[in-house]
Structure 1
Amino acid sequence: MNNQFTKNFGAFEDDGLNPTASSVATHLYDYGNLSVKNGWIKDGMVFVKCMRESLAEKINVSVDTITRTLRVLEDKGWIIVKRQRNAANIYFLPKYYDLNSDIKQQNATLENANCNQSQTNFKQSYTNETDVTCKSSKNKQIEMPKTKIGNEENKQVKISGFDRMQNLVDSLKQKACFGHDLINILVKYSENTGVLYNYAKLIFKAKKTVIAKLVQNGKPEAKDALRFENNISLMPELTDFMKSLIIKTRCTKSIKNVAGYITKSLHEFFKDAVGGYMSIERHAKLVKNNKGFNIPIIKLDK
């Protein structure tokens, strides 16, 4: 057992994975070493192909145990699963280079990775004033802000796909006040940073539009109602709503304009959220002022 194998196993244990999950994750990431040599890199991530039966035999557990364990790893963000019919599933390893920083990256080729020529390495180099663009299969292309490198000549900065994703996640947590569960759902269904950015952008634009319209119509309380810090029920409801919305847009072929459909649905969601929040606030004020509770006081005979 090599040092890197042991190191990875320890990293998975530190993340709170049980021994079985740590073992499965370690084997998948160990297979990633061969994938790197073969150039199996797609959309900025190393990937492996593996049958559940093979993992079960390797680790000496049942196939059902492997299935449950893979779900745990997927929820934890260690793998992204692309399920295939009558073929081995494809497991993307989004944190491969984070764990194996000492392993030199190799380019993917058409012969051994079956990737398009436009696909790039997991770690890309950007020079001065480089435009970073991300594209998903269903959502239109999004142009990300330019990366400012500095004034030094010939200076290059290597930014991995995982790092870009992590930076965006941190921003959604700290600046946007997105909840942990909502971020997990968005990351789970985002093939790359562009898709995640697109989903977050749609949420922000829809909320901003609804607030502006309601304020214009004489309802300034909409600002407080749609502030995540104020409305404690808004975030969990939005999380469930986005999950069902994303799944529906991906499973319903008749939905052609995905961005438009999500935007319209979010408008209705935020309008309803404002109405619900204000109803609760009015009820709370009534209770505070003892209105609507005319309970007679009866004096009992001694």
Structure 2
Amino acid sequence: MNNQFIKLYTEFEEKGLKPNEISVLAHLYDRMNLSVNNRNFYDRKHNGYYVIYTREELSAQINLNVSTITRIIKKLVSAGWIMVKKQFNAPNRFFLPHFVLPKSHKTKNAPTEIAKCNSIQTDFNQTNNLHDNTVNTDVSVETEPVVDHAQQWAEATKQKVGLTFSSIQAIQKFCKNNVEKCKQVVRLILNARNSVAKANRLVKQPVAQFESNQNIINGLAQQLEHIFSYAVKLPQSNYAGYVTNALKAYFTSAFGLETKPVVVKPTVKATKFNDGKKHIHEELPEWAKDGYKFKADTNVDMNKKAKLEAMLANM
């Protein structure tokens, strides 16, 4: 841990923050140092620098799950350490009211409002009251709740697709809570299910639905964990094919479509020869012999055939 982090940790500890809160805030402060050197991260409307740091990034950096990161951010927002500005179709912007601009920060070529921002920053050590309005008084950022996109995706997927939460959790674990990758894996699952269902004329049948097939309800999550345990060892470009083929085999079994091998039992005949003894002779049925050629039965009931074809068409 470098000196900058040690200093931040000490200052945050003195303010009563807990270790996980300190870690999140320290990472945001560290990235803010990059923002102040880049005019692209200055919000003119709110007259302040901001940080973009996704919850997934923080989760990977700090080794905490995304839901924990979300709770910590909400607490820091409530306490006034962070201000959040939501962006339409873009990552949230984090403003840090107590961040102190470096003394070396140059304003010679900066816009007037950036220079003004420099002049109104108050030193962190002199800010005794956490909610002191002397810090960035011109920044009126509307604090909004942090949206847990991973949780939103999980709930929507359960509702629309019918996957159980245990299956969804297995997917999130494999994808490290990356929502886009989670969506891709769900598409692989649906494609494998649909392929097997279509090949066996089971499309839209209850047996092919996640929420109505008890085999899938009870076993898919465990099967996914098993498949993912091998998929993580494959290159990213190759895991899709493996997951799809493995799931096709699983759905074939879950739909009750596994074909059992045909056991050929020979016909046993006892024949008496001149010696008066019985000799056992085994003979395969005609259809099991080499060179057998199928001959259609010419005595077909056309009415029954028509009814059978109509029934298959309806299925």
TM-score (norm 2): 0.45
TM-score (norm 1): 0.47
Question: Based on CA coordinates, which of the two structures has the bigger radius of gyration?
Answer: 2
Higher relative contact order (CA 8 A, sep 6+): 1
